[in-house]
Amino acid sequence: MSASEEPDQAAPDPFEAQVEAATNELLTKSAKLEALVPDDYEAWRMQADLFLAALARLETREIAPDESVKLMHVPLRESALRDAAEEALRNCAHFAQNFEERVALIDEANRMRRTTWF
C-alpha cells in the first residue's frame, strides 16, 4: 500500500493530552491524601487545596467535568468540589490558632459555597 493509499490517522489532540495529564495529576494527589487521617489543620488544608485546585482547573477548562473521576471520593464536578472545599475549609477553622485565622477560613469557605436560589 502506498503512502497515498494509507488511511488518514488523526494526530493526537494536544488539548486532550493536557486535560488527561492535569486530571492524572489531581488523581495522584488525591490518592496520597486519602492515606492521611484528617486530624489536624495541615491535613484538612491539603484536602481543601486539592479541591480548590480542581475547581480552578475546571473554571479555566484545563480539565473537564467527569462524574467517573473521583478526588477523595468527590466527583469531578463543580458543585461537588465546592461542597467538599467548603467542608474542608470549615474543618480547618476548627484548628485555627486565633480568632482572625478562624474568621479568614470561614470567609474563604463562604466564598466556596454554591449559589442557591430560594
At 68-110, the pLDDT tens digits run 999 999 999 999 999 999 999 999 999 999 999 999 999 999 9
pLDDT tens digits for 23-42? 878 887 777 777 776 788 99
Eight-class DSSP state of 24:
H
Show the DSSP H helices in 1-118 as ranges.
14-34, 41-59, 78-94, 99-112
Per the structure block, which three cell numbers stand in for 87?
A: 467542608
For cell 474542608, the residue is 88
pLDDT in tens, 58-68: 999 999 999 99
Strands 74-76 and 66-71: antiparallel
pLDDT (0 to 100) of residue 11:
59
Long-range (24+ apart) CB contacts under 8 A made by 16-25 are 18/62, 19/62, 19/63, 19/64, 22/57, 22/62, 22/63, 23/63, 23/66, 23/69, 23/76
Residue pair 57/76 in contact (Cβ under 8 Å)? The answer is no
Sorted by where each starts, the structural domains of the chain and their CATH numbers stand as 14-112 (1.25.40.10)
The helix/strand/coil state of 115 is coil
